[in-house]
Structure 1
Amino acid sequence: MSGESLRRIAVLAGHNVLLRRRDPAHFVSYLVMPMVLMLIFKGMLGEATQAVTGLLVMFSVLSMADVATASLTERTWHTWERLRATRARIPEILIGKALPVFGVLVVQQAVLLVFGVLAVGMRPAGPLWPLALAVVAWCFALLCVGTAIAAVVRSQGELSTLCNIAALSVSALGGALVPYALMPSWAQAVAPISPGYWATTMLQAAVRGDVAGTAGPAAVLAGLGLVAGAFACWRFGRGWSRTVAL
């Protein structure tokens, strides 16, 4: 990647950092709500790791709406064509918009994990770097999938509906709300199709200090992210994102 390309990405990222700072409401709500629910779920389940990792997965999926909004707002504000008229290429535009959101996702998950340790009673075993790997892999998958969603939906209403349904479905089928062993047999059979299954499995393995158990799901999520990111670049490049329902 050339220096000029990096400069264009830096300018776009700086602009989107400013937009994130002006509207922190979702970030704050997606921190406070899971913190409260973690304490409640810990009392119900008696298992801190399940409560912390499950709710982290659920609310990080809800955060995909913020990821998609980063691109969708350019279309609803009718500024997407201005971006396309610059020298910035599609991957540069998407990376510039994605980097600040990636930072927000990492901070969100790091804060929730720290809260889980200090307030909920989760006790990580072994080194902490598997947890860092798990957070990065999950954030990367969320970022790419959220960007791909932005290339498909036509309005904020569609985006909110899709992300809300996805959050509950991915979390429930992935074993984020109840332990995998307690799920019905049919749900256990279809669970691996849910990214939430791989995220929950990965995070719980990282808490146990299981490096192999963390690396496998991380590779699956990284592959999902690469496929979704490639689709997003192709779809935006085709210009299909220009028609937006207001």
Structure 2
Amino acid sequence: MRADALYRLPLLVRHNTLLRLRDPGHLVSYLVMPMVLMLVLGPLHRAALPDGGASQTVLGMLVMFSVLSLSVVGTALLTERTWRTWNRVRATPATVAEMLVAKAVPVFVLLVLQQGLLLLFGSQVVGMPVTGGLAPLLLAVGAWSFALLAIGVALAGFVRSHGELAALCDVGALAVSTLGGAFAPLAMMPSWVRALAPFSPGRWAMTAFGAAVTGDTATTVRAALVLTAVGVVAGTVACVRVGRGLGELRG
């Protein structure tokens, strides 16, 4: 049985990779738009925050548009429901875990690539100083991508249409980014926003990235652990929901 799983999983990963590559529109837009906004907002943030304006611009746009990428994650599962092929796949010997891993791997790679390119653009073009090493950055990127992936799959298991997914992702991205300090440092935000900030994954993402680029490894690890815990909880919910079966989408 284990040998069969090792044979099935690469085939499923390859199939889902082809599906993602054939529909790259969202990922391209979520890569180009933050770059444009970094160039536009960079001078404003540097004027308002002389000591950290470039980092605020780059990391804020990275977090906001990576949250918007939840729609890409959710669509990876909704596509199967739209085509009414999900239940057919479930009828095969492949387990729920195998199917979710096969969906997750290509999207995880794309999320890591998106964030890596934005960090590179931010450091080389926008002028964000990076004094930390590569390892903390990889830890922050990996933990944040894992959390986003798990949340996206969990959302896709509950929504009943692409419209519902789009609405949840758009509103969620705005809320998570605002509470995380993506638009402005939390010190400049109202007190009620600062009180709610610890409940936002975006806040821990901003903390992890901010610490990673400055070389604060201990803070990066703590924030990454919180993001990993969020991912584990969301992933567990996703597995339970998907394991019970998914209904057809509404038109």
Bucket of the pairwise TM-score, normalised by the shorter protein: over 0.9
The amino acid across from 2:247 in the alignment is R
Indicate whether 1:11 and 2:11 are aligned: yes
- Aligned pairs, number: 245
CA contact (8 A) 1:151 1:236 kept: yes
TM-score normalized with structure 2 length: 0.95
The amino acid across from 2:212 in the alignment is A
What is the rounded CA distance, in whole Å, between the counterparts of 1:4 and 1:232 in structure 2? 24
What is the rounded CA distance, in whole Å, between the counterparts of 1:152 and 1:83 in structure 2? 19
Could you say which residue in structure 2 is the equivalent of 1:191? 197
Deviations 1:80-125 (A, max 9, x none): 1110110001111010011000010000000000000110001111
Deviations 1:28-63 (A, max 9, x none): 111110001011221111011111111000000000
Instruction: Give aligned-pair identity as a percent.
Output: 56
The amino acid across from 2:182 in the alignment is A
Could you say which residue in structure 2 is the equivalent of 1:38? 38
What is the rounded CA distance, in whole Å, between the counterparts of 1:57 and 1:4 in structure 2? 39
Kindly report which structure 2 residues correspond to 1:11-30, keeping only aligned pairs within 5 A, or say none.
Answer: 11-30=11-30
The amino acid across from 1:244 in the alignment is L
SS of residue in 1 equivalent to 2:181:
coil
Select between 7-16 and 27-36 the one with higher mean Cα deviation: 7-16
SS of residue in 2 equivalent to 1:242:
coil
SS of residue in 2 equivalent to 1:151:
helix
Kindly report which structure 2 residues correspond to 1:96-115, keeping only aligned pairs within 5 A, or say none.
Answer: 96-115=102-121
What is the rounded CA distance, in whole Å, between the counterparts of 1:159 and 1:126 in structure 2? 36
For structure 2, list consecutive stretches of 5 or more residues without a partner in the other structure.
47-52
C-alpha root-mean-square deviation of aligned residues, in Å?
Answer: 1.0
CA contact (8 A) 2:84 2:248 kept: no
For structure 1, list consecutive stretches of 5 or more residues without a partner in the other structure.
none
Indicate whether 1:131 and 2:137 are aligned: yes
Indicate whether 1:2 and 2:7 are aligned: no
Could you say which residue in structure 1 is the equivalent of 2:50? none
Select between 5-14 and 52-61 the one with higher mean Cα deviation: 5-14
Could you say which residue in structure 1 is the equivalent of 2:59? 53
CA contact (8 A) 1:80 1:242 kept: no
Kindly report which structure 2 residues correspond to 1:1-246, keeping only aligned pairs within 5 A, or say none.
Answer: 2-46=2-46, 47-239=53-245, 241-246=246-251
